[in-house]
Amino acid sequence: MSTYAVTNPATGETLKEYPEITDAELRAAIERAGAAAAWARGSSVFERAVLVRAVGDLHYERREQLAEIVMREMGKPFEQALIEVDYAGAIYHFYADQAETLLADEPIDLVRGGGSAIIRRSQFGVLLGIMPWNFPYYQVARFAAPNLVVGNPILLKHAPQCPESAEAIHAMFDDAGFPRGAYENIYATNAQVESVIADPRVRGVSVTGSERAGAAVAELAGRHLKKIVLELGGSDPFLLLGTDDLDAVVEAAATVRLENTGQACNAAKRFIIIDHLYDAFLEKFKAVFETATPGDPAVRGTEIGPLSSAAAAARLRDQVDRAVAAGASVVVGGGQHGNFFEPTILTGITPGDEASQEEFFGPVAQVYRASDEAEAVAIANLTPFGLGSYVMTNDQDQADRVANQIEAGMVFVNIVLADSPELPFGGIKRSGFGRELGRSGADEFVNKKLIRSAAPGDGPLQHFAAGQQVGV
C-alpha cells in the first residue's frame, strides 16, 4: 500500500492512491533537474519570470478545480481553499513582476581603493522542497516562485496526503512551458529523501513541517554540507493590552485562531489578556466559539471543516485531555465527532506547563490572564517557539515597546491575516530559521557573488597598506 493517498477526512473514505516513486524514477528526476540547471544558467531573468507568471495565471484559471482537490485531501472549506489558490497565484505574479529588481546587481560603496565592486545574484543549484499538507498550494508557491525566478530547479516532495494537489501543481508548471526538470514532483519515501539530500547535484533543502521532521532533515543536510531553510511549528501569542473596540478584537482573535480549522503554524494559539479586560474578553470569545460549528467542507459557507486526518484528530484529542488532567478547564467545546473537533477554549493552564509548551494544531485556544504588560510579555516569550505574534493595544508607544520585546520572527500590531507576498515569513528558536517571501525569500538560495574590478586603465595594483593581511 502506498503512503501517498487521498483520504477524505470528512468521510474517512480513501478515494485514490498514488504509487511511490521507484529508485530508478527518482534518479531520472534528479538527472532531469540537473539538466534544467544548465537551462537556467543560459536563460534570462525575464524569460524565467514569464514562465513563473504563467504558473500564477494557471492558478487563477483553475482555481475551482484546485480548491476542490484540497477540500478532498485535507478538509479545507471550499471558500478558504479558493482564497489559498488565489494567494498562491499572487505570489507567482509578485516574483514575476519583481524578478529583475530582486536579481539586479547590487553596487558596493568602496571605502578603500579605486575601481568598483558589485554583488551579482546567480543560481544556487537544484533544491529539494519538503512541503506540508495544511496549505498545499501556498506553501509550494512561496518556495518555488522565488527559486525558479532565480533559476534553481525544484525537486518537490509533497505531504503524503496531498498527492492529487502535488500532481496538479506539477501539471501547471508543465503547461506554463517550463522545461522538463525545472519542477519535478516526487512521491518519495523518507528513505529516498536521504538519497536526494546526499546527491551532490542537490545544493539545498527547504522544509516546512514539524520540529521532528525539521530536525531529521537538518541533520542529514548538515552531514552533507547542504544549506537548509526550516519553517517549523509555532504557538503564537496574542497579547491584548488595551483597546477602544473589544468586539473587533474578539472577532480578530477568533478569526486568527479558527482559520483553516486552526491548522496554521502562524495562527494565534495562546491568548494573553490584560487583567482589566480578561473577563469581558473571555465572555465574548466564548460566545463566538459557541456559534462556530464544524461542517462539511463541501457545503458552501462552511467555515470550519474536519481536522486533516484521523491521526491529527487523535493527536489534538490527546493534547486536550492531558491539559485537562493537569488542571486546565474547558470553557467551551472539547467534543470530538470523528475527525471533526469542536472549537475549544482552555483556561487555567500555568505558563511553563506542558500544554503551554506544545503546539495545538486545531481549533483550540488557550487563554491566560496577565496582571500587567511585563507579565504579558513574559508569558508570550515562555515558549520554545518563535514564529509569529500579535499585539493589540491603543497605545502606540506600548506597541513599539512590546514589539521590540517579543521573541518571534514576526509581530503583527492591531492586525491579523495580514500576510502578503512582499513580507518575509519565518521564525526563530524552535520555529526554524531562514525566511520565505519578500526579498528575503529570494535571497535564501542564491550565489551572492562578489565581483571586484580595478578602475579603467589600472593594472593589477594593490591598494592595501604594506604588510596588511587580506583574506584568510
Catalytic positions are 231, 265
Distance CA 380, CA 326 (A): 20
Distance CA 185, CA 283 (A): 48
Distance CA 391, CA 398 (A): 10
Contact between residue 137 and residue 149 where contact means Cβ atoms under 8 Å apart? no
Distance CA 163, CA 392 (A): 39
Distance CA 296, CA 319 (A): 24
Render 263-328 in DSSP notation, one character per residue: --TTSEEEEEEEHHHHHHHHHHHHHHHHH-----TTSTT------S-HHHHHHHHHHHHHHHHTT-
Contact between residue 174 and residue 152 where contact means Cβ atoms under 8 Å apart? no
- Backbone phi, psi, residue 140, to 5°: -65, -40
Joined grid coordinates for residue 64: 475551482
Render 119-182 in DSSP notation, one character per residue: EEEE---EEEEE--SSSTTHHHHHHHHHHHHHT--EEEE--TT-HHHHHHHHHHHHHHTPPTTS
Joined grid coordinates for residue 177: 512551458
Contact between residue 221 and residue 228 where contact means Cβ atoms under 8 Å apart? yes
Which secondary-structure segment (H or E) carries 453?
strand 447-453
Distance CA 349, CA 320 (A): 11
Contact between residue 406 and residue 386 where contact means Cβ atoms under 8 Å apart? no
Contact between residue 342 and residue 348 where contact means Cβ atoms under 8 Å apart? no
- Provide the Cα torsion 461, 465, 467, 470; round to 10°: -70
Distance CA 261, CA 238 (A): 18
421 beta partners? none
Tell the burial category of 227 from Cβ atoms under 10 Å away from its Cβ (0-12, 13-18, 19+). middle
Contact between residue 470 and residue 263 where contact means Cβ atoms under 8 Å apart? no
Distance CA 432, CA 207 (A): 9
